[in-house]
Amino acid sequence: MEPGVREYMLRIVNTMSLGLLWMAINSTAGIMYDLAFIHDHLRLGNILFYLWFVVSLAVYLWWVIRLWRKPLHFED
């Protein structure tokens, strides 16, 4: 496989796998452990969950943007 194509495919796989892992962690914590739903009043668990959600999303997006800004090395 060409080095540039391999590098491009690795970027796609890394972006998708980390994104799916992020979604799995947040959906598990939010739905299964009932942290995403505010029932009667706001609890500390809800606040920590949403804080984690926003911070981890920002870090994930920063990582993806940093990864895709690097130039690909296609050799002629």
Q: What is the pLDDT of residue 73?
A: 84
- How buried is 36 (Cβ within 10 angstroms: 0-12 exposed, 13-18 middle, 19+ buried)? middle
Q: Does the pLDDT value for residue 76 go beyond 70? A: no
Q: What is the pTM of this model?
A: 0.89
Chain segment 21-61, per-residue pLDDT in tens: 999 999 999 999 999 999 999 999 999 999 999 999 999 99
Residue type, 71: P
Chain segment 8-22, per-residue pLDDT in tens: 999 999 999 999 999
The residue behind tokens 């500390």 is: 44
Pick the more confident residue, 25 or 1: 25
Cα 11 from chain centre: 14
Q: Does the pLDDT value for residue 65 go beyond 60? A: yes
For residue 46, CA distances in Å to 14, 17, 32, 50, 59 come to 30, 26, 13, 6, 20
Q: What angle do CA 33, 37, 42 make, to 5 degrees?
A: 105
